């Protein structure tokens, strides 16, 4: 890993105060670390400037450093805003600036959330949009344009009520600008600043940054949130930019009542584009309609800081490509539903209620007739879900068990339970608690959703006074045991149950086994990426390595690019479901084995 300092890494102390614990992520400006403030005894996030290329360090150093300072200044100007990540300080260490920021415990960005669980419900997407609009408007009133509104720059974190994603935060002011202040722009005039597919057409054509341009990017982001992809998603950055300028967005299919807002924000002509007050009114109406019975209150700004199977359908097919193929004034507009824990879990977590009470003497089903189970679920149970009408996550599914966890390609597994003192408590708190109970595992898998099976009124005692917490495939089966229930040495039936940081023993092009990372292994799973909807499985076999090298680069995880390279695996399941998820790994360039704590 080449960065601002050759000794940069976990365990290092920055400015005599901040102990680096581990890397949280990477972006265009550098790495973000979780660090311990030894003076105040608390955790913070530190952004580090990274120069991967010596030539860039020589020629772009001054501009990159100045941009970091500008980011800190702009974000600090919005300090205290409930929907902006707080910047505490910017400091110099070994000649480079480090930005000290609030560490948001349990946060996940919108891009990751949609990738893992599927698109948001329109009302929930509207709630997120209101929060981001509030943050943007606060910046616009100070003359600061964000210029890079996109799903990856929107964080969702637990709030004080325990709702898993109740807190919404806009982050990364790294390319923001304050044009009316005579501020220097630290980018070349010929270089487009922003993200292809989210850049306003007037910006893509060379125009100046304006509040209207940020609103267009917000429209693209909300489209992604409710549809699962960008309205201008194309096979390349150039094609995406061309589509932004020349083509209309793809017609949304899931947006429902949110569609008029998307249409208004995505108007090509900024003079005809929906304004911030108009967007605020429309989004507020959507949030209010979600539950008219509840009093609307402002979103809580606070948050605590602190696979066994034989060959599955189609088999597992490795994909190996040749090297190189690769707003602060607001009245009551921004308010969420009061019962946020319940409402949010309904929208994001996926939950079904079986409320059918039974007459005395009749057999009681723990979760009601719709679910249909005659006895309570047990931890580790693999389940098959029969969805009404065949549409996944629509309505109440009828559940059956697969005792072997493999014979019928199960849809998911029971990963735990949360107890309750009453039926009312189970119904109101169970879903949110299940979200927390399964969060760690869901974070390690590519395409899953959390679900809660809540006891029926009559079946509360029969269910053991517990809500069952499931993890299901978001778009298809999961094929076998999940998480720690997998046994070392057994082959993966499908890539769906490969987890981040799994170590793999590659036996052949169609057989890969899970092995302990303490010994020798051939590859390690780093993360996931997705290929375009038009990419066939056969084409993926020659392009996935390059996609992983681009999107999940091993060097961003500390692997020396002169020694290690990106690898990838896929199987028929993600292509049958249309998700096109690829598992990205790291391996040695010479084909040798890896061992222990590499790097």
531 within 8 A of 495, measured Cβ to Cβ: no
217 within 8 A of 270, measured Cβ to Cβ: no
477 backbone φψ class: left, alpha, beta (φ>0; ψ -120 to 50):
beta
Report the distance separating Cα 461 and Cα 455, nearest Å: 8
296 within 8 A of 339, measured Cβ to Cβ: no
SS3 332: coil
127 within 8 A of 299, measured Cβ to Cβ: yes
Listing DSSP states for 506-548 in one string gives EEETTEEEEE-TTSEESEEEEEEEE--TT--HHHHHHHHHHHH
- Max Cα separation, the chain? 82
Neighbouring residues of 133: CB distance < 8 A, sequence distance ≥ 6? 215, 218, 276, 279, 280, 283, 327, 334
188 is in an annotated binding site: no
Element (H, E) at 285: helix 276-289
Of the residues 109, 148, 494, 522, only one is catalytic, namely 148
Active site residue 89: no
Report the distance separating Cα 390 and Cα 393, nearest Å: 9
| Of 514, 564, 568, residue with least CA distance to 545 | 568
Binding residues: 47
Pick out the residues of the known binding site for ATP.
47
Catalytic residue positions, numbered = 148
């Amino acid at each position: 890993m080449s960065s601002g300092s050759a000794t940069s890494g976990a365990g290092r102390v920055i400015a005599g105060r901040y102990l680096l614990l581990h890397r949280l992520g990477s972006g265009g400006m550098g790495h973000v670390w979780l660090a311990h403030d030894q003076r105040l005894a608390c955790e913070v996030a530190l952004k580090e400037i990274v120069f991967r290329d010596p030539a860039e360090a020589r020629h772009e150093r001054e501009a990159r450093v100045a941009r970091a300072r500008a980011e800190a200044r702009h974000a600090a100007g919005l300090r205290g805003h409930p929907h902006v990540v707080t910047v505490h300080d910017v400091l110099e260490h070994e000649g480079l600036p480090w930005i000290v920021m609030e560490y948001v415990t349990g946060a996940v960005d919108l891009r990751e959330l949609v990738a893992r669980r599927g698109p948001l419900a329109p009302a929930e997407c509207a709630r997120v949009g209101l929060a981001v609009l509030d943050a943007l408007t606060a910046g616009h009133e100070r003359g600061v344009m964000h210029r890079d509104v996109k799903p990856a720059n929107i964080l969702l974190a637990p709030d004080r009520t325990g709702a898993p994603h109740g807190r919404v935060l806009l982050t990364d002011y790294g390319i923001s600008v304050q044009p009316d202040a005579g501020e220097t722009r630290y980018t070349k005039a010929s270089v487009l600043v922003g993200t292809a597919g989210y850049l306003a057409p007037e910006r893509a054509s060379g125009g100046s940054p304006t509040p209207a341009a940020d609103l267009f990017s917000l429209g693209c982001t909300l489209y992604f949130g409710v549809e699962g992809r960008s309205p201008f998603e194309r096979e390349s950055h150039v094609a995406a930019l061309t589509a932004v300028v020349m083509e209309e967005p793809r017609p949304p299919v899931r947006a429902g009542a949110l569609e008029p807002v998307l249409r208004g924000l995505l108007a090509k002509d900024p003079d005809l584009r929906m304004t911030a007050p108009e967007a605020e009114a429309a989004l507020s109406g959507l949030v209010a309609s979600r539950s008219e019975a509840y009093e609307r209150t402002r979103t809580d700004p606070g948050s605590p800081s602190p696979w066994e199977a034989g060959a599955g359908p189609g088999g597992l097919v490795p994909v190996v490509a040749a090297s190189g193929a690769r707003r602060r004034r607001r009245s009551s507009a921004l308010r969420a539903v009061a019962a946020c824990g319940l409402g949010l879990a309904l929208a994001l977590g996926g939950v079904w209620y079986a409320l059918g009470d039974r007459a005395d003497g009749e057999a009681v089903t723990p979760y009601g007739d719709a679910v249909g189970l005659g006895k309570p679920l047990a931890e580790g149970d693999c389940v098959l879900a029969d969805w009404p009408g065949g549409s996944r996550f629509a309505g109440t599914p009828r559940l059956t068990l697969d005792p072997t966890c493999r014979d019928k390609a199960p849809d998911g597994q029971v990963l735990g339970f949360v107890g309750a003192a009453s039926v009312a408590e189970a119904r109101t708190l169970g879903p949110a608690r299940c979200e927390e109970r399964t969060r760690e595992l869901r974070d390690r898998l590519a395409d899953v959703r959390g679900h809660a099976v809540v006891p029926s009124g009559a079946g509360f005692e029969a269910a053991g006074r517990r809500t069952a917490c499931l993890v299901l495939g978001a778009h298809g089966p999961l094929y076998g045991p999940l998480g720690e229930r997998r046994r070392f040495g057994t082959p993966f039936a499908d890539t769906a149950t490969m987890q981040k940081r799994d170590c793999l023993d590659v036996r052949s092009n169609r057989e890969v086994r899970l092995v302990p990372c303490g010994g020798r292994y051939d590859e390690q799973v780093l993360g996931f990426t997705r290929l375009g909807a038009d990419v066939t499985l056969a084409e993926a076999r020659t392009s996935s390595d390059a996609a992983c090298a681009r999107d999940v680069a091993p060097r961003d995880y500390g692997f020396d690019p002169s020694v290690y390279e990106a690898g990838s695996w896929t199987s028929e399941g993600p292509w049958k479901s249309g998700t096109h998820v690829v598992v990205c790994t790291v391996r040695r360039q010479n084909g040798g084995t890896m061992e222990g704590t590499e790097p």
